[in-house]
Amino acid sequence: MIDLHTHTFFSDGVLVPAEHLRRFEVMGYEAVAITDHADSSNLDFIVPRIVRAAADLNPHSRTRLIPGIELTHVPPALIRELAGRARELGALLVVAHGETPVEPVIPGTNRAALEAGIDLLAHPGFITEEEARLAAEKGILLELSARKGHCLTNGHVARMALRTGAGLSVNADAHEPGDFMTAERAETVALGAGLDREQYRQLRRNMTDLVARL
């Protein structure tokens, strides 16, 4: 199991990175990314601390901690700059907070994030076919979300991805231990979005391949 989208107390989660990682390790995860929410006000604070946590904890854990960040409600014109700054600070995984239908995300965020070359577009809402094709061209994964509200458009996201060849991932967007997904839960989210079991296996391969590149 891999989860590419989780949060600690550096944003709106509840655990320190050490306990966060340990709980995923006990669940048998191969890797988990900490992708706390950031904009220009806190990016320089969060990323180095997650990088430090990964450096300290990974030698002692069977589960790999991937230092990442989720650019959240960032004006589209600033996404490219902040994604580059996050990578300079050591973020291995850059996630963009997509146009979920349950939050007032600025229209154009999905496209700006894809054009900026992020790694994962979280809960992209009613993503257009053109945007999904751009994700496919750039090798950017689109998220099927297990989180309440964000999951409402999973079926649409899956259809757009299957139509265009864009890669999919399934993530908990976990903020506390009760959000952490079992393998059975992850499969349920994917199948509930309309994937068949072979398509779900391909989704897992997408996530494994991305982690291997980081």
Distance CA 79, CA 103 (A): 18
Q: Is 128 helix (H, G, I), strand (E, B) or coil?
A: coil
Element (H, E) at 177: none
E strand residue ranges, 14-83: 31-34, 37-38, 64-71
Contact (Cβ atoms closer than 8 angstroms) between residue 171 and residue 5: yes
Contact (Cβ atoms closer than 8 angstroms) between residue 198 and residue 187: no
Q: How far, rounded to the nearest angstrom, does the alpha carbon of residue 66 sit from its chain's CA centroid?
A: 11
Which pLDDT band holds residue 62 (cuts at 50, 70, 90)? Answer: very high
Distance CA 9, CA 176 (A): 9
Region 193-210: mean pLDDT is: 98
Nearest alpha carbon to residue 150 among 194, 189, 92, 115: 189
Region 151-157: mean pLDDT is: 98
Q: Give φ, ψ of 108 to 5 degrees.
A: 100, -5
pTM of the model: 0.97
Would you list the domain boundaries of the chain? 2-213
- Fold topology of 2-213: TIM Barrel (3.20.20)
- pLDDT tens by residue, 82-138: 999 999 999 999 999 999 999 999 999 999 999 999 999 999 999 999 999 999 999
